[in-house]
Amino acid sequence: MAEKIQVAIIAGQLVVGGAERQLEALVADSVDPTGAGDCFATAFMVRLAETGSLDEACSFGLAAGALSVGAAGLAGVPSREQVERRLALEAA
């Protein structure tokens, strides 16, 4: 049976698996916030499955969520390449 991981944002803090993680919010120009949580959750789970790292999964999810608000509707859903490019910019 797969391990269950609970992810919550409580009072601005990201809580993953019962442990708080201090992560910087990413600046985003918001056009439409619809779907940002879905993009975060999907990207989070993809990266967690790939790496097993909660920290990497959180960063990947935050980047996807930040990018997703930049356009209305499905046009805001970022590609993997866009998320990786955003992460590279944040790291620079």
Inside any domain, residue 6:
no
Rg (CA), the chain: 13
Give how many domains the chain has, as a whole number: 1
Q: Which residue segment(s) compose the domain that 62 sits in?
A: 26-91
Q: Which two tokens stand for residue 11?
A: 């009072």
Residues making up the chain, counted from first to last: 92
Element (H, E) at 64: helix 54-68
pLDDT tens digits, one per residue of 32-54: 999 988 999 899 999 999 999 88
**If you average pLDDT over every residue of the chain, what do you get?**
84
User: Whole-model pTM?
Assistant: 0.81
Inside any domain, residue 3:
no
Contact 42, 64 (CB under 8 A): yes
Q: At a CB cut-off of 8 Å and minimum separation 6, what does 86 contact?
A: 26, 63, 66, 67, 78
Q: Is the pLDDT of residue 14 over 60?
A: yes
Q: Is the pLDDT of residue 6 over 90?
A: no
Inside any domain, residue 19:
no
Average pLDDT, integer, range 5-33: 72
